[in-house]
Amino acid sequence: MKIFSKEQIYEGDALTAKKQGITSTELMERAGTQIFNWLHLRMQGAQVPIHVFCGIGNNGGDGLVVARHLITHGYNVKTYIVNYSKTRSKDFLINYERIKGTTKDWPILLNDAKELPEIDEKDIIVDAIFGIGLNRPIVTWVKQLFNHFRATKAFVLSIDVPSGLETDAVPKDEECVVNAGYTLSFQTPKLVFFLPETAKYTVQWEVLDIGIDPEYLFTTPTEADLIGKNEVLPIYKPREKYSHKGHFGHALVIGGSYGKIGAVTLASRGVLTIGAGKVTAYMPKCGYIPLQSSFPEAMVISDVNDEKITKIDFNITPDAVAFGVGAGTDAKTISAFEAFLKTNTKPLVIDADGINILAKKKALLKSLPENTVLTPHPKELEGLIGKWTDDFDKLKKTKALSKKYKCIVVIKGANTITVYGDKLYVNATGNPSLATAGTGDVLTGMITGLIAQGYDALAATIFGVYLHGKSADLLVEELGYQSFIASHVIEGIPLAYLDLFKQPEPPQVEEAGEEEN
Ligand SMILES: NC(=O)C1=CN([C@@H]2O[C@H](COP(=O)(O)OP(=O)(O)OC[C@H]3O[C@@H](n4cnc5c(N)ncnc54)[C@H](OP(=O)(O)O)[C@@H]3O)[C@@H](O)[C@H]2O)[C@H](O)CC1
Ligand SMILES: [K+]
């Protein structure tokens, strides 16, 4: 699914109205009706008090449409206008007149924090105060209103975005943003739903289709894409009946040091379980017996040194190479890696200490083959790009790194983001169970195993990150967050593959149709 910028959303709105011969008021009616339907389906007429807070722009206009439909359907509604500006949008005014024609209970004008409405914990707040049009800091009394929402502990449903959250910046003051329990966003998720510093403003989100022109949606390139099942299915390569292991490539995993042999074992298991034909682990001698006995499917070549890698020397021809897991950053290991880079022509995936070595010796970045995959966690990323001021600055600096060295950078986190040039691929799978030792090593193996099978590096990265998260999503239901360990990611890979072809379950409840008033 594409993630559009706010400029692209405004453009799509205008184009849709023109192509479909509708007014912007009709588009707002569609948007507001969708929100109403969503609520109506879940509330089924329940008389829980619903407080609809509307701004003075089009987000507020959406709120007025919702309030009007709720009123005409007999709900217990209180509508407020948060009067933060003297200007009003045209469609706000049209809907303001319409709601006045529907009820004697006219919207209450809020001008300051002196008379904040009483809201019970069991009530519902609909937040239609600011949408994507927010463009400057909010005034103090509106911040007080947001704090009042928090204090009531009532459930907050935000329309389009939690009010106060800009679509392209990290808030300077957390209290100036509404904390939404749920956000219903029009047509496209917003990038801020996925960044560590801004995702927290909504517990959950959902996209509502408001019928924006399909051609516009299909043909407009976006800075970011959300990667779910629909996006990875076209990447998947089915197997031919008469294929053999030679067709699926040979991956080499170089890494490990005394006490960190498990990292190479996990990565090697990741390589084979994701479907590569063969895997060879290159590691210090101390790893020879443990790896051969714990994972007999792997072949092992050992370094001359017992405890660390000192010379990368092998007589096989791998299709893809992973370097770095558990490798340490000893001077001899750095020299060995440096020498290896001088002659290597094979696709590379670099993780963990491999990235720490690159951070120490930035000149080595120039020796990486084109489309090398780097998979840093935040601390390792900082070594490569320096400190960032906020998540948007982090993305900007990572894009610059990717462009300069023509590499693919995987920013690992709650929503892992793969950066390639100016493009962002935001992964939709995964959960907090993955925050445990060794899951990164498995990911390195998975991406390397996909490249060895013939996937191009970018496709392998996007697909590998997706399957890695999906494996955890499927297994955590049985194992729980706390007991999940890196080996479980490997065990879940077959389920993640099979899940690609599962038909979606039929909906439990029938969707309510669009209603006029
Ligand atoms: N396809 C769609 O997604 C549709 C979305 N719709 C809804 O429209 C909003 C966007 O509406 P817009 O009117 O552009 O903006 P807002 O409602 O978010 O804000 C209203 C105006 O408030 C002013 N502003 C901005 N920041 C502040 C501030 N800190 N304090 C005071 N005032 C502020 C600004 O106007 P200025 O002229 O004063 O700069 C805003 O324009 C979208 O989110 C959806 O909810 C449509 O209903 C249908 C299609
Ligand atoms: K809002």
**With a threshold of 0.80, does the pTM exceed it?**
yes
Q: Which of 10, 83, 160, 190 has most ligand 1 atoms within 8 Å of CB, for mutation?
A: 160
Shortest-distance atom of ligand 1 to CA 161: 43
- pLDDT in single tens digits along all 517 residues of the chain: 999 999 999 999 999 999 999 999 999 999 999 999 999 999 999 999 999 999 999 999 999 999 999 999 999 999 999 999 999 999 999 999 999 999 888 999 999 999 899 999 999 999 999 999 999 999 999 999 999 999 999 999 999 999 999 999 999 999 999 999 999 999 999 999 999 999 999 999 999 999 999 999 999 999 999 999 999 999 999 887 777 777 899 999 999 999 999 999 999 999 999 999 999 999 999 999 999 999 999 999 999 999 999 999 999 999 999 999 999 999 999 999 999 999 999 999 999 999 999 999 999 999 999 999 999 999 999 999 999 999 999 999 999 999 999 999 999 999 999 999 999 999 999 999 999 999 999 999 999 999 999 999 999 999 999 999 999 999 999 999 999 999 999 999 999 999 999 987 776 655 544 444 4
What spacing in Å lies between the alpha carbon of 395 and ligand 2's midpoint? Answer: 25
Measured distance CA(144)–CA(150) in Å, rounded: 10
Ligand showing the shortest atom-to-Cα distance for residue 53:
2
- 249-499 carries CATH number 3.40.1190.20: yes
Cβ atoms of residues 225 and 465 within 8 Å = no
Q: Is position 46 annotated in a ligand binding site?
A: no
- Write out the DSSP string of 380-437: HHHHHH---SSHHHHHHHHHHHHHHHT-EEEE-STT-EEEETTEEEEE----GGG-ST
Residue 489 is inside which H or E element, if any?
Answer: helix 486-499
Residue spans of alpha helices (H) in 44-101: 58-72, 90-100
Contact 183, 162 (CB under 8 A): yes
Ligand 1 atom index nearest CA of 186: 3
Ligand 2 centre and the CA of 59: distance in Å? 6
Query: According to CATH, where is 3.40.50.10260 located in the chain?
Result: 2-221
Q: Which residues line ligand 1 (CB under 6 A)?
A: 9, 13, 27-28, 31, 55, 57-62, 84-85, 87, 89, 130-138, 159-160, 186-187, 210, 212
pLDDT at 517: 41
Residue with the nearest Cα to atom 1 of ligand 1? 13
The whole-angstrom separation of Cα 86 and Cα 109 is 12
Candidates 404, 5, 31; CA nearest to 211 is 31
Burial label, 11 (beta-carbon count in 10 A; 0-12, 13-18, 19+): middle
- Determine the residue of 16, 84, 85 to mutate for testing ligand 1's pocket, defined as the one with the most ligand atoms within 8 A of the Cβ atom: 85
3-state secondary structure of 194: coil
pLDDT of 10 reads 96
The CATH homologous superfamily for domain 2-221 is YjeF N-terminal domain (3.40.50.10260)
Ligand 1 centre to CA of 363 (Å) is 47
**What stretch(es) of the chain map to CATH 3.40.1190.20?**
249-499
Ligand 1 atom 25: residue of nearest CA: 134
Residue 177 Cα, ligand 1 centroid: separation in angstroms?
15
Give the model's pLDDT for residue 504.
75
State the complex-level ipTM.
Answer: 0.98
Distance CA 157, CA 180 (A): 6
